[in-house]
Structure formats: structure tokens, C-alpha cells
Amino acid sequence: MSLAADLLKVADFVVGKPAVRLAAPLAPALGRRTREGHPRRILVIRPGGIGDAVLFIPMLRELRRTWPGCRIDLLLERRNAGVLDGTGLADRLLRYDAGPGVLATVLRTPYDLVIDTEQYHCLTSLVTLATRAPRRIGFATGSRRRLYTETVPYDRQRYEVLSFLDLARQATGREPHWDPDEPFYPLPHAAVRTARKALAEIRREGRPLVAIHPGASIPERRWPPERYAEVARGLADRGAAIVVLGGPQDVRAARTIAAALGERPHVVLAGTTTLTEAAAVVAEVAVYVSADTGLLHLAYAVGTPTVHLFGPGVLSKWGPPGSRFRSVRHDVPCSPCTTYGYTPPCAQGLVCMLGIEPRHVIDEAARSLEEHTGPARAETGA
């Protein structure tokens, strides 16, 4: 997470709620008259991590389907902007942690509709109000709901794609199209070419490919790299070739996995790919294995079968649905502990994650390999 994003979270905690209370009485007077017909300019606000940015893509597609000629701007963080780069889903990506000039640009633009997809924090609702857009839509969570012209309920147990689609339904007045088994991430052609080049040599082995990502954004979701190494070795011994993914922070864990594999067929791509390139790699493999990470949601979005390890997170909210996706959990009374998007520091020794045994993950991945004999197919975009 960037320093700017951290500072924004602190600012939201310190001044966000008081500012919302002060601004709420002004909200009815800060709208402009609604233009007739379809909106010409839409702003969608999406702070947060990679997973959120992936799972609100079906909502963006609904806006495009309803108003194909409309201009859509996205206001988002640098860390999740990479998910949308090159996809053609937005006309302009505005990174609010790039400096104050970005916010000035937003406030100068005459938007007809602003959709705030933030679930809990307050600063985005203040930005939404400050645009003076005639339609301002957001989730009805906390006092921030008073700054919108329209709200929708937010269910902390409901799969996040469906929550975002509730916003699209409110905006368009149409029932969204949604099939939980249908890929929805438009892979850029350049990323697909890069991925296929990176996998060309290991594909000569003729084995099914299994991608393993050993990272997670917070310690409470992480599983020891030695256990991922045991999974990788077990699957390789059953005939798979292993692709190790991850960001720069996962390189050490990737080396642990590679060392355990020895001469077994594998390739390490951790720290070498962009987000879209990693998604394109995952689209080429037979099965993807990881804990609750942003790349897990990208794997789901490109249609690749997943085996996902869930500990503190709410499975109904963040676990991929559909027929291709398997979860592995160790049930303990304190799990899930994530509430309002926040996972507290674990005082139980990470028992929900450490209770997951490698043999269970190997068995689930092997079953998935038996069911899915070829790589998943994702659509390609721009």
C-alpha cells in the first residue's frame, strides 16, 4: 500500500466523519438540475485494493452496456489502477494519490452521475458531494449516506460483485447481466503475448500448468512459503508443471518454492510481471492456488479454476462463486474476524491459516486438475 493511501486512511479516520456531519445539511442544496436523457459524463470512485478493483468490473461493464456513448472516468488509487490499464473499460484513469491536482480536475469536470463504490470510509462521499453532480449514488452505510441523492443497501455477507451490481442497477434502472461462471476481465492483447512468451518453454513439457501465488496483503492471510513449497512439490509429483507468481515482496517466498521443486518442471515469474501480465499468465494455466489475494480475484475474473485458502476473510463476501472454485478452510470459532473491511491483528497465532494442511490443498488442486484438463479461456481486450 502506498504512503499516500495510508495518509488518506488516517485523514479519513480523523476528519472524515466530522466533515460528513457538517456537510450533510448542505447536501440538498449542492446538486445541479438533472439533465434530461442519458448521462454524458460519469465518474466512478474506487479506492481500496486490487480485489475491489477487479470485482467492480462487472458494474463498469453494465454502465457501458447501458450507455455505450458515455464518457466514464475512474478515480482510484495507484495500486489498483494497474488492474484497469489497457482494458478499455474507462476513458480516463485519475489517481487520487498522485497529488492534489487530480482532485481539482475532478471538481472542474461537469459530471452527470457520480457512483461512489467505497463501502465504509467517508472522504469519498465528500468528494462525491463536492462534484455537485445531479445524481450521486453510494452505499447506505453510516452517516455518509446523507451526502448521496440515491443509496443502496450494503450487505456484509453478500458477494462483492453483486453489491457493486446493486449500484449499477440503481444507476441504470436495468437488471444487470451476471453469470458467476462467465469470465469478465478483458485481458489486453499485449499482456497475453507477454504471458504466452513467458510460458513457452515450460509448456514444452506437455504437463498441465498450476500457478501458485504465495503472498497476501496482510500477515493474517499469509500461509508459510514452506507449505506452498510442499504443495508445489506434491502437485509436480502428480504430473503438473508449476508457475510461481507474486509481486516483488514475494520473491523470497518464490525462491523457497523453487528450491523445494529442484529439477521438477517449474518457472518463477514472481516480481517480473505487471498485474495485467500476471492475470494473462493465470488465464493460461489449468489451476491457480493462493490465499485471499488480489490475484485470486483476477484468476476468478479470467475464468481459471482456483483453489483458495480462506482464514480471516468472509468467504461469502470475498470467495469466488461458481462451479470452478474450491475453498480450503480450517474452521475455528474466531474466524472470520474481518469486519467493515478491517482485519485485526491476530492474537490466536494465525490458527485459521496455519490449521490448513498442505495435503488438503494438494488434494483439492488435484481434483480440480482432473475436472479441468485444459487452460481456462479469458476474453482479450484492448
**377 vs 30, residue with greater confidence:** 30
Residue 269 pLDDT > 50, yes or no? yes
**pLDDT class of 374 with cuts at 50, 70, 90:** very low
Percent of the chain with pLDDT over 70: 92
In this prediction, residue 154 carries a pLDDT of 96
Average pLDDT, whole number, for the chain?
90
Q: Render pLDDT for 341-372 as a digit per residue (tens, 0 to 9).
A: 778 888 788 889 999 999 999 999 999 999 87
Q: Where are the domains of the chain?
A: 3-172, 193-371
pLDDT, tens digit (0-9, with 9 covering 90-100), for 235-254: 999 999 999 999 999 999 99
Work out the percent of the chain whose per-residue pLDDT is above 90.
68
pTM summary value: 0.90
Q: What is the pLDDT, as a whole number, of residue 333?
A: 87
- Reported as a single tens digit per residue, the pLDDT across 293-334 is 999 999 999 999 999 999 888 888 999 888 899 999 988 888
Report helix, strand and coil shares of the chain as percent, to nearest 5: 45, 15, 40
Chain centre to alpha carbon of residue 145: 24
pLDDT band at residue 153, thresholds of 50, 70 and 90? very high
Contact between residue 257 and residue 243 where contact means Cβ atoms under 8 Å apart:
no
* Separation CA 352–CA 345 (nearest Å): 13
Could you tell me the pLDDT band of residue 377, with boundaries at 50, 70 and 90?
A: very low
Under DSSP, is residue 150 helix (H, G, I), strand (E, B) or coil? strand
The CATH superfamily of 193-371 is Glycogen Phosphorylase B; (3.40.50.2000)
Question: Is the pLDDT confidence value at 37 over 90?
Answer: no
For residue 83, the 8-state DSSP code is H
Report the pLDDT averaged over residues 205-219.
93
pLDDT at 350: 85
Is the pLDDT confidence value at 376 over 60?
no
Nearest by Cα to 71 from 41, 45, 44, 94: 41
Domains 3-172 and 193-371 share a fold: yes
How far apart are alpha carbons 332 and 125 in whole angstroms?
36
**Whether the Cβ atoms of residue 147 and residue 20 lie closer than 8 Å to each other:** yes
* Stronger pLDDT, 203 or 379, i.e. the higher one: 203
Average pLDDT over residues 37-63: 93
Of 230, 374, 341, the C-alpha closest to 289 is 230
Tens digit of each residue's pLDDT (9 = 90 or more) over 4-36: 555 666 777 678 788 888 888 888 877 655 555
Is the separation of the CB atoms in 135 and 171 below 8 Å? yes
**Least confident among 25-29, 42-46, 164-168:** 25-29
Q: What is the pLDDT of residues 87-128, one digit of tens each?
A: 889 999 999 888 889 999 999 999 999 999 999 889 999 999
Taking the C-alpha atoms of residue 208 and residue 213, their distance in angstroms, rounded to an integer, is: 17
3-172 maps to which CATH number? 3.40.50.2000
